[in-house]
Amino acid sequence: MYYAWNYQHDPRSLKIWVATAWALQSAVMLTESLQLWFYLVARHGKIFDLIAVDPSTGVQQLFARLVQLFVQWYLLQKIWQLLHTRRQQLVHGIISGVIFLICLGSSIAVVHSSIVQKSVSNIIRQAQLPAYWTIASQLTMDIYITCVLCYALRQCKSRFSRTNVIMERMVIYTINRGVLLCLLSFVCMILYPVDSRRGTLFSETVSTPESALYVNSLMAVFNVRNYLVQLEVETKHDSSVVLHNLARIATEHNRPHVSIEH
């Protein structure tokens, strides 16, 4: 609702991207709510039944992986558009394509194990290798997107100071996004082998908010435009006030002094 109200004049393609991201994240939240109902309400007081996998686990994993791949694809596409030379675009396409295919393949394997297996222990055991590949490729992709996007934004600098200020703000937001997501993936990479050996689910407490962070970081990048426009308006207003004061001071300085003799 906030996006629809503040960005009514965005291109239709961008509105479709935002609507798709919102729909996927809503589906993730719905399936997570079903999982909470399954374990906390439907299976309340049944200890041995908690070993069974919730039927919506596979669907939840599917939508969560789709959210991550969707956001990554959008940012990779934007990086492609920001790069100036064909050589840069070619190198970017090869590197990002390989990492993206690894993310896609490992995500398919994880979703398949979540759908086929009927117990939590079997999912952890069968999906150990593809899940580790998913986390590692996701971490690599986040680092790559952060570094290359900062480089591409740096190339967009011009002789105008106001444009450079906007680019600097975008670089700062990109770095903040990358640090947050990379930290989350790194913690998951540490916890998942521990879960595999001990049969625990500590990594789930960290990986659960991942899809929400991906969507929120993308929407935050979209919302930066509104902030930068407001910043530009305030900068113009401050500049006009300063110029007005300077003009008034210069006028008063050049004004002839009239002495009145009594």
- Could you tell me the pTM of the whole model? 0.78
pLDDT tens digits for the chain (262 residues)?
A: 777 777 777 788 888 888 888 899 899 989 888 888 877 777 776 666 666 777 788 888 899 999 999 999 999 998 998 888 899 999 999 999 999 999 999 999 888 888 887 777 677 777 778 888 888 999 999 999 999 988 888 877 666 676 677 777 778 888 888 888 888 888 888 888 787 777 677 777 777 788 888 888 888 777 766 666 555 555 554 444 433 443 443 444 444 444 444 4
Look-up of token digits 């990779």:
76
Long-range CB pairs of 176-179 (<8 Å, 24+ gap) are 177/146, 177/217, 177/220, 177/221, 178/142, 178/143, 178/145, 178/146, 178/147, 179/146
Asked if residues 114 and 64 have their Cβ atoms less than 8 Å apart, the reply is no
Contacts of 242 (CB under 8 A, 6+ apart): none
CB 146 within 8 A of CB 182: yes
CA dist 109 and 193 (Å) reads 17
* Distance, CA of 161 to chain centre: 28
How far, in Å, CA of 215 to CA of 55, rounded?
25
Length of the chain in terms of residues written: 262
